[in-house]
Amino acid sequence: MATTNGGAVLIEALRRNGVDTLFDLPGDPMGAVLSAARQAGMQSYSFRHEQAVAMAAQAYGYVSGRIGVGMVASGPAMTNAITGLTTAWANCWPMLLVGGASEAGRRGLGDFQETPQVEAAAPFCKWSVAMDDARRIPWFVSMALRKAHSGRPGPVYLDFPADVINARVEEAEVSWEAAVPAPERLGADPATVARAVQLIAGSERPLLLIGKGAAGSRAETELREFVERMQLPFIPSPMGKGVVPDDHPLCVADARSFALRNADLVVLVGARFNWIFHFGQPPRFAPDVKVVQVEIDPDEIGNSIPATVGLVGDAQTVIAQLVNEAGTAARRRLESPWLQALREEQQRNAEGIAPMVGSEEPLINLYRFFRELDAVAGPDSILVDDGESTMAVSRVMQVMKEPRRRLDAGVSGCMGVAVPYALGAQIAAPGSRVMCINGDYAFGWNGMEVETAVRHGLPILFVVANNGSVRKGAPVFQSAGFTADDAIHYERMMEAFGGHAEFVATLPELRPALERALASGKTSLVNVIIDPSAQRKPQPFSWLDRLGRMRYGAE
Ligand SMILES: Cc1ncc(C[n+]2csc(CCOP(=O)(O)OP(=O)(O)O)c2C)c(N)n1
Ligand SMILES: [Mg+2]
């Protein structure tokens, strides 16, 4: 009878579930796992920091719809990955993190890198558990994948003690499991669906909010039909952009504050009333706003503000139910006073930013910067954004026509996600153009991973929007008086690693530099000087209704 080891059993269990790609950073005790992966012909991408391993794996999962699997070594290697678990947890994105661990048989003796890893991962994971026996590994893998995808998705953590990885076991004694099927797409109660349609059809000022839960459920076809049949103006969340195209006539994202404040009914789909949507509360929303909430997690219904109607189920299924129930009878008048008011507000807001978008000043402002990036991005590019002002302006300026093609820090507000997200996205979609746009400070967290991109031949375009948040000869965030002469030359990192590098100080140089970078076919980095005094257009509300906020930038 053939003998094998725990590491090989893990790889075989993953392979039987369709996993062919690993995100890893090698180290003890993962040797037997990674060599089994090589033998099985799995593609392994080795990163420079475990935070990036976990972040790349989750972005791969979101873009591809397949589980992203991260593999890290024990102790500090595993704890380095925890911030990546927190962003997957905040995003409700499925992923599996596998951590090597010290020997179970030496627990408490101070074994090499002995660390309470299961406990450390637990608050951010739907399941955090240590293997007890190499023969049961397929069962743990199977249960972990089910938990990652079922209900509200999220990360799971499996802890692999060294003695379980290296245990010799008979293949025939291993309890192999069938591949985990995709979770059932649950629908909502038909009576509740009927009530929801009545409520929407009877409202004067309805507004649909589309979150990345709808993107994750792949509800784009159903949502578009819903929007058009009910003539619902809609606003996407930052990562819900593109589920219904941003250039759809009913997209009112550029009248956001006005729409939220004046809606009498909000349909919330795969999104939460968290800080991104201002908790659904006044002053950002009307105090008596009615809510139709389409949500996979029953606990979330009525969170922050009461739901008038709660529809528990998978977004794709429930939206199809709403469309069917609505029939054609519910079609609203095409030009209501509400739509007209929204269009006027959109017009006012567009006029507000027009001078910045159209600026021909040599020193580039962020709005003009994104206009130039848009000009070189194809319609199906994947855009990944990071930074404070840089990310805020990207959300306004990027017009997404396809779902799951824009990633940013989202609910987690975690700077540094963009570089590893871009790697995960490019690995998930090898034929797509991936553009990764970073604030100069944000670039710092995972900037070293541009080396990973070069090493693996990933033709990502990295851009640094360099407004001197970090600058030579000054403490951080002292960008006042910043000029190109003070700039840190991030593009030289790319030179050092062998990719294509560009430095851009003025507007006329920007487009040709981006075009050269894209034409190079290599991993590239374009470091662009941005006017440090150019801010976002004045906002009616601060981004977070909280006292004592720290301010960054040119004050
Ligand atoms: C992991 C993490 N650490 C710290 C912060 C706090 N923070 C928010 S924005 C920011 C600086 C962003 O600077 P930059 O990327 O240059 O953005 P921009 O100049 O475009 O505003 C920091 C440190 C954070 N959000 N996340
Ligand atoms: Mg900056």
Whole-number Å distance, alpha carbon 441 to ligand 1 midpoint, is 6
- Angle at CA 152, nearest 5°, toward 246 and 44? 80
* 331 HSE (CA, 13 A, CB side): 8
- Angle at CA 456, nearest 5°, toward 405 and 498? 105
Rounded mean pLDDT, 174-201: 97
Helix spans in 152-305 (H):
162-165, 190-202, 212-216, 220-230, 256-262
Ligand 1, atom 4, residue with closest C-alpha: 415
Q: Kindly report the average pLDDT of the chain as a whole number.
A: 95
Q: What is the rounded distance in angstroms from the CA atom of residue 543 to the CA atom of residue 553?
A: 15
| Residue 385 confidence (pLDDT) | 98
Q: Which pLDDT band holds residue 186 (cuts at 50, 70, 90)?
A: very high
Ligand 1, atom 13, residue with closest C-alpha: 441
Classify residue 180 by its DSSP letter: P
Pocket test for ligand 1, best of 366, 394, 415 (most atoms within 8 A of CB): 415
Pocket test for ligand 1, best of 421, 437, 441 (most atoms within 8 A of CB): 441
Whole-number Å distance, alpha carbon 532 to ligand 2 midpoint, is 8
Whole-number Å distance, alpha carbon 554 to ligand 2 midpoint, is 10
Whole-number Å distance, alpha carbon 479 to ligand 2 midpoint, is 8
Closest by alpha carbon to 117, among 90, 145, 78, 167? Answer: 78
**Ligand at shortest distance from the CA of 412:** 1
For the chain, what is the total number of helices (H) and then of strands (E)?
21, 19
Whole-number Å distance, alpha carbon 480 to ligand 1 midpoint, is 17
Which neighbouring-strand residues pair with 22? 44
Whole-number Å distance, alpha carbon 468 to ligand 1 midpoint, is 12
| Residue 548 confidence (pLDDT) | 53
Q: What is the rounded distance in angstroms from the CA atom of residue 244 to the CA atom of residue 230?
A: 14
Which neighbouring-strand residues pair with 413? none
Rounded mean pLDDT, 9-34: 97
pLDDT per position as a tens digit, 431-440? 999 999 999 9
Rounded mean pLDDT, 362-376: 98
Atom of ligand 1 nearest to the CA of 479: 19
Closest by alpha carbon to 153, among 82, 205, 72, 214? Answer: 214
Q: List Cβ neighbours of 49 (8 Å cut-off, separation of 6 or more).
A: 25, 80, 446, 448, 449
Helix (H, G, I), strand (E, B) or coil at 121: helix
Element containing residue 431 per DSSP (H, E): none
| Residue 547 confidence (pLDDT) | 56
Which residues are placed with Cβ below 5 angstroms of ligand 2, an ion? 439-440, 467, 469
Q: Are 361 and 531 in contact (CB under 8 A)?
A: yes
Q: Are 32 and 5 in contact (CB under 8 A)?
A: yes
| Residue 283 confidence (pLDDT) | 96
Q: What is the rounded distance in angstroms from the CA atom of residue 222 to the CA atom of residue 214?
A: 10
Work out whether strand 69-72 and strand 95-101 pair parallel, antiparallel, or are unpaired: parallel
Ligand 1, atom 22, residue with closest C-alpha: 415
Among the residue ranges 153-157, 472-476, 480-484, 549-553, the one predicted with the least confidence is 549-553
Q: List Cβ neighbours of 416 (8 Å cut-off, separation of 6 or more).
A: 51, 386, 442, 444, 445, 446
| Residue 332 confidence (pLDDT) | 58
Asked whether residue 269 carries a pLDDT value surpassing 80, the answer given is: yes
Q: Are 95 and 144 in contact (CB under 8 A)?
A: no
Q: Which pLDDT band holds residue 473 (cuts at 50, 70, 90)?
A: confident
Helix (H, G, I), strand (E, B) or coil at 98: strand
Rounded mean pLDDT, 533-548: 65
Whole-number Å distance, alpha carbon 418 to ligand 2 midpoint, is 14
Atom of ligand 1 nearest to the CA of 390: 20
Backbone angles phi and psi of 90, in degrees to 5: -65, -35
Atom of ligand 1 nearest to the CA of 391: 20
Higher pLDDT, 18 or 335: 18
Whole-number Å distance, alpha carbon 390 to ligand 1 midpoint, is 10
Whole-number Å distance, alpha carbon 213 to ligand 1 midpoint, is 25
**Ligand at shortest distance from the CA of 370:** 1
Lining residues, ligand 1, CB within 6 Å = 387-390, 413-416, 439-442, 465, 467, 469, 552
Rounded mean pLDDT, 334-345: 92
Q: Which pLDDT band holds residue 480 (cuts at 50, 70, 90)?
A: confident
Whole-number Å distance, alpha carbon 448 to ligand 1 midpoint, is 17
| Residue 328 confidence (pLDDT) | 73
Atom of ligand 1 nearest to the CA of 415: 26
| Residue 251 confidence (pLDDT) | 98
pLDDT per position as a tens digit, 41-84? 999 999 999 999 999 999 999 999 999 999 999 999 999 999 99
Report residue 286 CA to chain centroid gap. 29
Q: Which pLDDT band holds residue 96 (cuts at 50, 70, 90)?
A: very high
Ligand 1, atom 3, residue with closest C-alpha: 415
Rounded mean pLDDT, 7-17: 98
**Ligand at shortest distance from the CA of 393:** 1
Q: Which pLDDT band holds residue 553 (cuts at 50, 70, 90)?
A: very low
Element containing residue 501 per DSSP (H, E): strand 500-504
Rounded mean pLDDT, 264-290: 97
| Residue 6 confidence (pLDDT) | 98
Pocket test for ligand 1, best of 86, 388, 411, 549 (most atoms within 8 A of CB): 388
Ligand 1, atom 6, residue with closest C-alpha: 415
Q: Are 479 and 532 in contact (CB under 8 A)?
A: yes
Ligand 1, atom 9, residue with closest C-alpha: 388
Q: Which two tokens stand for residue 457?
A: 């031949």
Distance set, CA 293 to CA 371, 416, 465 (Å): 35, 32, 38
Whole-number Å distance, alpha carbon 391 to ligand 2 midpoint, is 10
Asked whether residue 329 carries a pLDDT value surpassing 70, the answer given is: no
Atom of ligand 1 nearest to the CA of 414: 26
pLDDT per position as a tens digit, 379-428? 889 999 999 999 999 999 999 999 999 999 999 999 999 999 999 999 99
Among the residue ranges 237-246, 320-329, 513-522, the one predicted with the least confidence is 320-329
* Strand stretches in 316-467, DSSP E: 382-385, 406-407, 434-439, 461-466
